[in-house]
Amino acid sequence: MIKINNLHKSFGDNQVLKGISEQINHGEVVSVIGPSGSGKSTFLRCINLLEQPTEGEIIIDGQSISAAGACVDKLRQKVGMVFQNFNLFPHKTVKQNITLAPVKLKLMTQVQADIEAESLLELVGLKDKADAYPSSLSGGQKQRVAIARALAMKPELMLFDEPTSALDPEMVGDVLDVMKSLAQKGMTMVIVTHEMGFARDVSDRVIFMDGGVIVENSEPEALFSNPKEARTQAFLSKVL
């Protein structure tokens, strides 16, 4: 479903991504791990064109998104993104946060979007929070609203950038459970995470990035129990 060929991204003379090639299949759950500053966020942000690649090609569903004239709005519809810091609209209720984009883009009427929002809130375990404002929610609840909001666009692919890193430890499990249930429903997901247990349990594949390249890429069991590359071994020995 996504094919990435020789992706490069520089900021000025800082070369952050140095030639990433990768293919992600429909329904696959891929975790991306690696040290801070290795380019993980930049990689995700290139996939939905929050950053414009310097070089290389990204093809989603057979269409090149990095080509001139590619329709960014269509792409954003297909690709949902969840950030570390939730990015909810503070002056909108939970339900309004969820329905805003699909109604604005005329994917649904307000009535349809409201019905959809209710079922998404049920999915993330927050049915009773529809009319609450973000400021009254815990971090874990905010993140589950952010996931529901991304799902409201009916994306084909979900990108998660350290979705639990800003949460108090007791909130992490609820968010990971929601992500796990999405994975089990067959959602295609790319997840940048420091939750090694989760990456090991839920992913079909784990990518280890360092210095703007993919150093190692394999099934979780192989990567965690038997990493081949010295850099992977060194990283895992620090975080496991």
Nearer to ligand ADP, 11 or 225 (CB): 11
Nearer to ligand ADP, 42 or 99 (CB): 42
Stretch that binds Mg ion, among 36-44, 46-54, 59-67, 145-153 (CB under 5 A): 36-44
Nearer to Mg ion, 9 or 40 (CB): 40
State the binding partner of 155 from ligand ADP, Mg ion, none, CB within 5 to 8 A by kind.
none
- Residue 101 and residue 110: Cα distance in Å, rounded? 10
Stretch that binds Mg ion, among 13-21, 33-41, 109-117, 163-171 (CB under 5 A): 33-41
Reference 52, options 2, 94, 10; nearest CA is 10
Residues 27, 31, 37, 38, CA torsion sign: negative
State the binding partner of 143 from ligand ADP, Mg ion, none, CB within 5 to 8 A by kind.
none
Cβ neighbour number for residue 89 with a 10 Å cutoff = 12
Nearer to Mg ion, 98 or 192 (CB): 192
CB of 107 to ligand ADP, least distance (A): 29
Residue of 31, 41, 164, 193 interacting with Mg ion (CB under 5 A)? 41
- Residue 171 and residue 162: Cα distance in Å, rounded? 14
Site for ligand ADP, rule CB under 6 A: 11, 14, 16, 34, 36-42
CB of 72 to ligand ADP, least distance (A): 17
Cite the beta strand spans of the chain per DSSP E. Answer: 2-11, 14-24, 29-33, 55-60, 63-64, 79-82, 157-161, 188-192, 205-210, 213-218
Stretch that binds Mg ion, among 5-13, 32-40, 130-138, 146-154 (CB under 5 A): 32-40
CB of 11 to ligand ADP, least distance (A): 3
Nearer to Mg ion, 45 or 95 (CB): 45
Nearer to ligand ADP, 41 or 97 (CB): 41
- Residue 177 and residue 97: Cα distance in Å, rounded? 22
Reference 172, options 139, 219, 199; nearest CA is 139
Do 121 and 94 touch, CB atoms closer than 8 A?
Answer: yes
- Residue 60 and residue 156: Cα distance in Å, rounded? 10
- Six token digits for residue 31: 């975790």
Give the footprint of Mg ion on this chain (CB under 5 A).
40-41
